[in-house]
């Protein structure tokens, strides 16, 4: 372990494995463990901002997806669940909740009478516009301890890792 940083929770796990299984090459375990831990800790920090607007992460995610789709801020449910990587059953449940809150509504698809579209309501648009502004400010606060070069290097590394992990897009 480098001496220019304080030990983290993953270091303790790695040391235990080194003691118990010195035959294993544990480099990837440290990296993946830190990514998972960062994801958990980031999730908590992000959730605090969403909660200030009465939103959960998934509610923010659905509303933000509709908002960034552009006017008229509507998508087919299949586009939503594909983008959000959830099942159709999960999406149906979530849409009912968002609809009950008055943030989305389902409307007839003018191009296909057999299907519905999910549209962001005016209240939903106003809410997500406020929440996304606070979200971006929070992201800046989270990343502020890293200088621009560190942020760029981290982003480049994550882009490369995602290129390995994500299926190819057609």
- Average pLDDT per 10 consecutive residues for the chain, totaling 170 residues: 76 95 94 95 96 95 94 88 76 88 92 86 98 98 97 96 82
The pLDDT of residue 86 is 74
At 91 the pLDDT is: 78
CA 48 – CA 56 distance, rounded (Å)? 9
Q: Write down the pLDDT at residue 2.
A: 47
Q: What is the pLDDT, as a whole number, of residue 93?
A: 84
pLDDT computed for residue 67 by the predictor: 97
pLDDT in tens, 119-143: 999 999 999 999 999 999 999 999 9
Domains and CATH numbers, the chain: 53-142 (1.10.10.10)
Output the pLDDT for position 170. 56
pLDDT at residue 1, rounded to an integer = 46
Both structure tokens of 85: 């990587």
């Amino acid at each position: 372990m480098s001496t220019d940083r304080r030990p983290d929770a993953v270091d303790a796990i790695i040391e235990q494995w080194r003691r118990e299984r010195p035959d294993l090459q544990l480099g990837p375990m440290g990296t993946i463990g830190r990514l998972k831990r960062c994801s958990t800790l980031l999730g908590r920090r992000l959730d605090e901002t969403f909660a200030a607007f009465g939103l959960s992460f998934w509610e923010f995610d659905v509303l933000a997806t509709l908002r960034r789709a552009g006017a008229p801020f509507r998508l087919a449910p299949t586009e939503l669940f594909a983008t959000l990587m959830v099942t159709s059953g999960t999406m149906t449940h979530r849409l009912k909740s968002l609809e009950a809150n008055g943030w989305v509504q389902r409307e007839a698809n003018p191009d296909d009478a057999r299907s519905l579209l999910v549209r962001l309501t005016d209240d939903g648009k106003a809410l997500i516009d406020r929440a996304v502004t606070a979200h971006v400010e929070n992201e800046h606060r989270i990343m502020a301890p890293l200088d621009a070069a560190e942020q760029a290097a981290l982003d480049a590394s994550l882009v490369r890792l995602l290129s390995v992990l994500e299926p190819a897009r057609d």
